[in-house]
A and B are shown apart, each in its own frame.
Chain A
Amino acid sequence: MNFPNGPAGSSTDHDSRVPDDVDLGRVWTGVAAEVWRRHPGRLERTAARLLRSPGLARALLTAPSLLLPWLIATAVVFGVGALLSLGPGEPLVWLVAPAIASVGIAFAYGPGVDPAWELSASAAVSDRMVLLTRSVAVFAVNAALGLAASAASGAIASLTFGWLLPMTAICALALAVATAARSASVGAGAGVSAWVITVLASRTASGQLTASVTNADTYLPYLAVAACCAAIVIYATRPQRGLQ
């Protein structure tokens, strides 16, 4: 069953030198599959292993509509963070930074940005999961860069520990809950709720509203939360026996 002149369509029109039991269409398709096979890059293979989803890794790394918002988000995170850390007074904006950044990334994706949004929206790999994963990737990369910069020079330490680490932890928590609950909305809700609880609990304990982003005692827990959530995501997305 083919459009006119397709090679597979010629399977019934065998060359007289080809044995009757050889289906040329099937042979051609097998050859074509090998010739056309795309070989993912090292980064995509690593992401596919970590995320246990080749589709998510491909969407995360190669779709152009996803790459640009990622780069924009990275630039915004560093730019606004640097401006805020230079400004005077209490870093109140940092308290809402995780929510603002996540919402910004979420709105950077949609029908107006992704030309194939309609198709993506009907696919099994949820576009919201792609968003959450991308958020974690943005903040994790930035946090790692910030940690390295802090080690070299203390100038960026407040930005790294006060903003990037909490954002990484909260987004990792959202992704972990979304993965376990199989719902991106539940994950996002859990992330925002966890952050509100953290801010309020820190304020109650220290009497200072911005304690959750300025208290050095919270840095290690943020790192631990991010690491634990990464472990949960990897565990929850491990290959199921018999499904691969």
Chain B
Amino acid sequence: MNIELIHVSRSFGKNKAVDGVSLEAGPGVFGLLGPNGAGKTSLLRMLATVLPPSSGQLRLLDRDPRKPVPRREIRRRLGYLPQNLGYYPSFTVVEFVEYFALLKEMPSARVSKAVAVALERVDLGAKAKARLRTLSGGMLRRVGIAQAIVNDPELLLLDEPTAGLDPEQRVAFRTLMRDLGERSTVVVSTHLVEDVGAACTEVALMNAGQIVFRGTPEELTARGSDHGIGDAPLERGYSAVLSAARS
């Protein structure tokens, strides 16, 4: 298993952002759904080793991220796209992606080829030498995806990856996720249930820091067959599970 969580919690003061989550995931695309404040981003930041859990056990890629040496190994094999991608405006696209390839300790000889492959995968070849401050929001999102996949990660964590992408790019991105999920564990946190339906092999729904549903997109759809609210079948399943959890 690439991800193993046992009763993992994370608190910020008195607020419990993640509350006793247990989860296992192997290769595939894993969707993380939930309303604002459900704890998706906190959970993703713990998986990215940016945020330590307040309690519980966490194992990533069969390693313990609490120890420095295994944590470094995990980070070499990790790709992470945060919800708010911070960037250096004066860097070019190539410089930015290369910078994080080096910080991930990729061998120097492999970096330039890996950067070129990553940029082509997100269709940013034409903007390779453009400064980041000149790019649109959607292009910046794709730069973020490129830096996340540059090291061909075994564990890829994407927080709202399709925010700012146009419909054509979103369709292409779903295909990219499915492709990556054949070899790696891809965890996608999103508000957009159609992304989950199209790309994910498994989905978890979070509410108030807890996982209130886990299954396939089809199983989530089935939950909304009688009483869900929404335009699409998956949306009805989503709202039905949330309503049940809140009541």
Contact = CB atoms under 8 A, between A and B. Distances in A.
Contacts of B112: 33-34, 36-38
Contacts of A8: 117, 120-121
Nearest to B103: A123
A183 B72 CA distance: 11
Interface stretch (B24-32, B90-98, B186-194): B90-98
A125 B121 contact: no
B75 interface: yes
A237 B38 CA distance: 43
B94 A54 contact: no
Contacts of A53: 105
A24 B107 CA distance: 25
Contact of B123 (A6, A119, A244): A6
A2 B172 contact: yes
A54 B121 contact: no
A33 B108 CA distance: 13
A46 interface: no
Contact of B86 (A33, A58, A119): A119
B10 interface: no
A118 B84 contact: yes
Chain B interface size, as a band, is 35 or more
Contact of B103 (A29, A55, A244): A55
Given A3-B169, A123-B100, A182-B69, 14 more contacts: A3-B123, A3-B142, A4-B172, A7-B120, A9-B123, A28-B125, A38-B95, A54-B108, A63-B99, A116-B86, A118-B86, A124-B75, A125-B102, A244-B107
B233 to A, nearest CB: 27
A24 B116 CA distance: 14
B234 interface: no
Interface in B112-144: 112-113, 115-117, 119-123, 125, 128-129, 142
Given A4-B169, A32-B116, A114 B86 contact: yes
B169 A122 contact: no
Given A4-B172, A6-B123, A58-B102, A36 B80 contact: no
Contacts of A3: 121-123, 142, 169, 172-173, 176
Contacts of A6: 120-121, 123, 125
A240 B244 CA distance: 56
Interface of B is mostly: helix
A155 interface: no
Contacts of A30: 113, 116
A5 interface: yes
A92 interface: no
A119 B82 contact: yes
B63 interface: no
A59 interface: yes
Contacts of A150: none
Nearest to B96: A116
Interface string A191-222: 00000000000000000000000000000000
Interface residues of A, number: 44
Interface in B161-177: 168-169, 172-173, 175-176
A238 B30 CA distance: 40
B105 A55 contact: yes
A117 interface: yes
Nearest to A114: B86
B33 interface: no
Contacts of B95: 38
A1 interface: yes
A114 B103 CA distance: 15
A65 B107 CA distance: 24
A36 B128 contact: yes
A120 B125 contact: no
A62 B90 CA distance: 11
B121 A2 contact: yes
A189 interface: no
Interface string A110-142: 000011111111111110000000000000000
Contacts of A25: 120
B88 A123 contact: no
Interface string A1-33: 111111111000000000000000100111011
Nearest to B123: A3
A118 B68 CA distance: 18
Given A3-B172, A122-B50, A29 B120 contact: yes
A65 B87 CA distance: 10
